Structure 1
Amino acid sequence: MAEQTAHSESRPQTPAGTSPGIRTAVERARKPDSAVVRDALGVGIAVGLSGFAFGVTSAGAGLSLLQTCALSLLVFTGASQFALVGALAAGGNPLAAAAGAFFLGVRNAFYGLRLSQLLALPRFVRPLAAHWVIDETTAVALAQPTRHAARLGFTVTGLTLYVLWNLTTLGGVLGAEALGDTDAWGLDAAGPAVFLALLAPMLRTTTERAVAGLAVVLGLGFLPVLPAGVPVLMAALAAPAVLWFKGRSITRNSNRNSNIARDSDADRTKGEDR
């Protein structure tokens, strides 16, 4: 009996009669640091291991060990890195390859605007933290209920992913050099496969899936007729195209509802006049 009482006192208590929604919010606000660290480590380790695929892909594209490691150390955004070496491997123009990588990396600037308010880090830390603003660190930070938990999740995810990504990049390059021709092993497909695997779980809404689907169609459609590296730039047109179409649909539905409401009011007025 004493053990049960002590155990019940150690758990967070919520007032009697509290609604389920409020109880859930209270539990989230009391999320322990160990749970945040566990989630952050899971993301960092799972994604960090894919650096091996990038090292293999980069080596297959003809980049040296130093160039490949420099990309992971200084760029540190997997999608842009894969886009760059993928375009170079296909024989694309370096400027077109760099442009595609740049446009993919622009999203991190928008992540930074949101995280700067959420984390509220000291000024001298922000330049260092900005280097870790990527999809995974943003997702983990935004999923936390408090600023303290967001800072902890961001830091653990960023540190784990940065260290592991760079180590596995090095391992991928060394492994590719030991294997020889990566095309003979089919490892040139590792980069795109990993990129798609990272992208798929992020497509949660109908709009996001529509953008992704149209981007695939545009990229594959222009692949036979445009120089390597340019189709990925054309695929970027998918986002504004889908948003324009969605805006037109919303406007059309709004006008239809307004017409229905106006007709209903007119019918009601006629009935009252009678």
Structure 2
Amino acid sequence: MRTAERTLTRDIGALGVAVVAVGASFGAIAVASGLPAWAVVAMSVLVFAGGSQFMAVGLITVGNPFAAVFAGLLLNARHLPFGLAIADAIGQGWWRRLVGSHLLVDESVAFAMALPAGPVRQRAYWSTGVTLFVAWQTGTVLGILLGGSVGDTDALGLDAAFPAGMIALLLPSLRDRDTRHVALSGALVAVLATPFLPAGLPVLLALSGLLLAWRRLPVAGRR
């Protein structure tokens, strides 16, 4: 058991280091896009959703805040079934549910679900959630300081950090063949729609790639 806990601690720590790097990319991109530092920090603290925050900054800076909110809600709709699946890991009490639900991210759910129910699952969930929350805020602040101290952000390649960060967040899920098909279909729709629609809408249309996954379901599974 101690060996398993040491392995868990090591994995969570390594993940935290990676999250600091991605958070720094987010902070630098956000301030370079014109958002005030306080708004960037507030978004990281109150939203705490890496992929949604990257998407929101991209859509807000092109003048489409409605699409940013709508896309963020759709992207994070998966948290509803996640919450049901790991309710026991969060624990009882209103404060634990309030704070625990805010720490609910893909990684904290994955670490918790990989362990049997009980105290060990709770420790895994809370350790992962708290570590990643602190790492994300730290990275965001570092990114803000970096972005604010650089005159020409494009010269450092910060314009490429947004797509690089998104790819890094997506890579683990692309191991599944069906997921790859859905992602490629959605990307193709977005690329084709970009010349004809306002910024932000092609991203929403990319969700049509989910229809491919629905069509692959057995007839009974569509009901």
Provide TM-score, normalisation by structure 2.
Answer: 0.90
Amino acid at match of 2:92: P
The 5 A counterparts of 1:233-248 are 233-239=204-210, 241-247=211-217
1:79 paired residue number? 51
* 1:141 to partner: Cα distance: 1.1
1:50 paired residue number? 22
Within the candidate set 134, 137, 150, 2:121 is matched to 150
Partner Cα distance (2:90, 2:155) in 1: 49
SS in 2 for 1:237: helix
Contact 1:36 1:149 in 2 (8 A): no
Amino acid at match of 1:220: V
1:222 paired residue number? 193
Extract structure 1 runs of 4+ deviating beyond 3 A: 29-32
1:131 paired residue number? 102
The 5 A counterparts of 1:185-196 are 185-196=156-167
Within the candidate set 109, 119, 143, 2:89 is matched to 119
- Work out which of the two has the higher radius of gyration on C-alpha atoms and give 1 or 2: 1
SS in 1 for 2:104: coil
Partner Cα distance (1:68, 1:112) in 2: 26
2:11 paired residue number? 39
- Computed over aligned residues only, the root mean square deviation of the Cα atoms, in angstroms, reads 1.9
* 1:162 to partner: Cα distance: 0.7
Equivalenced residues, count: 218
Contact 1:56 1:176 in 2 (8 A): yes
Partner Cα distance (2:58, 2:100) in 1: 28
CA distance change for structure 1 residues 83 and 75 in 2, over 3 Å: closer, same or farther? same
Partner Cα distance (2:99, 2:214) in 1: 37
CA distance change for structure 1 residues 159 and 120 in 2, over 3 Å: closer, same or farther? closer
* 1:182 to partner: Cα distance: 1.9
- Aligned-pair identity (%): 36
Partner Cα distance (1:139, 1:119) in 2: 12
Answering whether residue 147 of structure 2 is matched by residue 169 of structure 1, we say: no
* 1:133 to partner: Cα distance: 0.6
Amino acid at match of 1:122: Q
Amino acid at match of 1:145: P
2:175 paired residue number? 204
* 1:190 to partner: Cα distance: 0.4
Contact 1:84 1:98 in 2 (8 A): yes
CA distance change for structure 1 residues 202 and 147 in 2, over 3 Å: closer, same or farther? farther
- Please identify, of 136-145 and 156-165, the stretch whose mean Cα deviation from structure 2 is larger: 136-145
Answering whether residue 65 of structure 2 is matched by residue 65 of structure 1, we say: no
Answering whether residue 54 of structure 2 is matched by residue 110 of structure 1, we say: no
Contact 2:90 2:100 in 1 (8 A): no
Amino acid at match of 1:86: G
Stretches of structure 1 that go unaligned for 5 or more consecutive residues are: 1-28, 252-274
- Please identify, of 223-232 and 147-156, the stretch whose mean Cα deviation from structure 2 is larger: 147-156
Provide TM-score, normalisation by structure 1.
Answer: 0.74
* 1:154 to partner: Cα distance: 1.2
* 1:220 to partner: Cα distance: 1.5
